[in-house]
Structure 1
């Protein structure tokens, strides 16, 4: 019984060693060489593409989605070619830097913050003003109208 336990423990230790070694190889393979490659191949093209795009459109998802997709795909293809795990810590840090540089002023939804068109906004303004100045807009708070909202 003791030899079976020892053999099982040895297999488990060997398995752990193989997994740890493979992770080290993946981590080492995706070091500075991978980082340099994605900056040279992927980021360089993205920079040129973003320079061609008017800076006022950087926060417009419709205008940047294709460029951003190409950048993402490029980092994946370089990782695949270099036999690196993807995504990885370097890719995360890379995209954090890209966002800090290009998208730091953008809203969380990725859309430009602006008023809706006048054809949509206008009726709300007119109806609100009409309610404010209409003699019928005064409501008696003692009438109990608000109780109907909670029933």
Structure 2
């Protein structure tokens, strides 16, 4: 059974429009997007509950969950006819970051001198080696006629 080409184009158009494969004609449906993004957040929250709180800052412990969350927000943003990252999606993701990762900021390192037991040998050894090498060169230059 063959389908006439004149019927094929309208059939494909109907399939696309009824199947939801096209973005909305009016553009981004922000209301729908704001309704479905919390579903991604709830799924991420339930996944994060499987991880000990003290490991939330360990990227290797949560990277799979975070990737699922990111993919979910991207998919739901696209399904609402919006581009990703959308400013509303961005602000939602930022809120999730504040909820789970606010204690993960890395403070500036406080540099301190090592203890004297470590510092004195680190300074003295190169100085003594330099003095010894200079002495060896001077001694050898005075005794150039003698073989080693």
Q: Under TM normalisation by the shorter chain, which class is it?
A: 0.5 to 0.7
- The equivalent residue for 1:67 is 65
The count of aligned residue pairs is: 102
- Aligned pairs (5 A) from 1:46-125: 46-107=44-105
Deviations 1:115-151 (A, max 9, x none): xxxxxxxxx87753633787x68xxxxxxxxxxxxxx
The answer for unaligned runs of 5 or more in structure 1 is 1-23, 114-123, 138-151
**2-side partners of 1:36 and 1:43: how far apart?**
11
Q: Is the 8 A contact 2:77 2:89 kept in 1?
A: no
The answer for unaligned runs of 5 or more in structure 2 is 1-24, 109-113, 129-148
- The equivalent residue for 2:27 is 26
**2-side partners of 1:129 and 1:72: how far apart?**
52
**TM-score between both structures, scaled by the size of structure 2:** 0.55
Bigger helix fraction: 1
**TM-score between both structures, scaled by the size of structure 1:** 0.54
RMSD: 3.6
- The equivalent residue for 1:16 is none
For residue 38 of structure 1, report the CA deviation from its aligned partner. Answer: 1.3
